[in-house]
Homo-oligomer: A and B are copies of this chain.
Amino acid sequence: MTVTYSSKVANATFFGFHQLLLRWKGSIYKLLYREFILFALLYTVLSVVYRIVLSEDQKRLFEKLSMYCDKYAEQIPVTFVLGFYVTLVVNRWWNQFVNLPWPDRLMFHISSCVQGKDEYGRLLRRTLVRYVNLTSLLIFRSVSTAVCKRFPTMDHVVEAGFMTPEERKVFENIRSPHLKYWIPVVWFSNLASKARQEGRIQDSIDLQNILNEMNRFRTWCATLFGYNWVGVPLVYTQVVTLAVYTFFFACLIGRQFLDHTRGYQGHDLDLYVPIFTLLQFFFYCGWLKVAEQLINPFGDDDDDFEANWIIDRNLQVSLLAVDEMHMNMPHMTKDIYWNDCDARPPYTLAAADYCIPSFLGSTTDMGSGIKFSGSCTILSIFLMFAGFGSSPPSFLPRCQVLEYFKYE
């Protein structure tokens, strides 16, 4: 359930990011409140013990311990370790996003190059596309807990229509101790080859392009599986986690407000609430949580990819594209710029500011002889009356441009 906030940050505004601080879903608060409460609690307990329970001698010892911890807390390189580690995890996360399997490229090819509006043609195209969806489903079941919950057994896969019962039988008869997500791909390539023999795919060029797109799709699937199989080395994750946890363990003791009457350096103020330590807790633990969320983006976190939605979307869209829409195009008619070599789509008043002259290179001001003029473009703005605005379509006729431009 990806947390999208693009619309909130479209423009850099007055303290623009501050509104992001007030969200709950997918926020640092939701992720961290439990750890934060625990940390605050432990700090309070220690504070109370120090102030009330301990004897004077014990207090002196605690004070020494506290200063010792504080000194070393500053030496722990949490910032750098986290910086390098989070960069690694974010890169892996984005690469997984980029490798999500979408059947779109393939469905365009199948829709246009596998001929025949009869039932056999439809069956052929639907089956090809179904194999593609089945492949990605099998991979998603292997890597995503969310998909695994939805399709816990192969029965569910059959029931949901991704596989026919007969295919299932063949699938299970193929004996291999390894993951079998590649089986529908073999079916796909053999079926496509058969379609060429039958003349449904016109020639080898069309066939090879479909096979290449299929291989691209399979590589996406295999890449997701690869990321699932070989993660960030465990040792690296442990090193980072240890560093952060050690830092906060040291802070628990080292950031206590010591008796300011004792005159310890930097301890002449008692605020009771260690405001900056708590904020540091938010930075560092939040930073670590970024890694925790993204290290396996196929779970249930707020920022994880919606694998189930992808499965739904892909099935619906790809069946639509290859079956209902096959060779079912709107009638071609002349567009409105026919015989008008200077096509200029109009602007609404609200968008009039976006109408700008064309950038012609940084050297434009230098050359005296460059004759291209962008200045007249500004005249092509199609204005509309602000009052008219609500009832679409509200572009004014093109001939009115110059006049309106004069008056406004």
Contact = CB atoms under 8 A, between A and B. Distances in A.
Contact of A343 (B108, B150, B226, B316): B316
B112 A189 contact: yes
B179 A360 contact: yes
Interface stretch (A41-49, A51-59, A82-90, A400-408): A82-90
Contacts of A348: 149-152, 156
A112 B190 contact: yes
Interface in A60-92: 61, 64-65, 67-69, 71-72, 74-77, 79-81, 83-84, 86-88, 90
Copies of this chain present: 5
Contacts of A17: 237, 241, 288, 292
Interface string A100-136: 0010110111011100000000011011001000000
A239 B287 contact: yes
A399 interface: no
A328 B145 CA distance: 33
Interface string A222-264: 1001101111011111110111011000100000000000000
Contacts of A215: 105, 108-109, 213
Contacts of A323: 341
Given A111-B190, A276-B250, A333 B75 contact: no
A315 B380 CA distance: 14
A255 to B, nearest CB: 10
A74 B72 CA distance: 11
Contact of A190 (B222, B299, B326): B326
Given A28-B235, A192-B112, A345-B162, A363 B148 contact: yes
A386 interface: no
Contacts of A16: 289, 292
Contacts of A290: 233, 235-236, 239
Nearest to A90: B88
A397 B391 CA distance: 44
A260 to B, nearest CB: 8
Interface in A129-177: 130, 139, 141-156, 158-162, 164, 166-167, 169-170, 172, 174-177
Give the 3 A-B CB pairs with smallest separation, nearest first. Answer: A153-B369, A142-B361, A10-B299
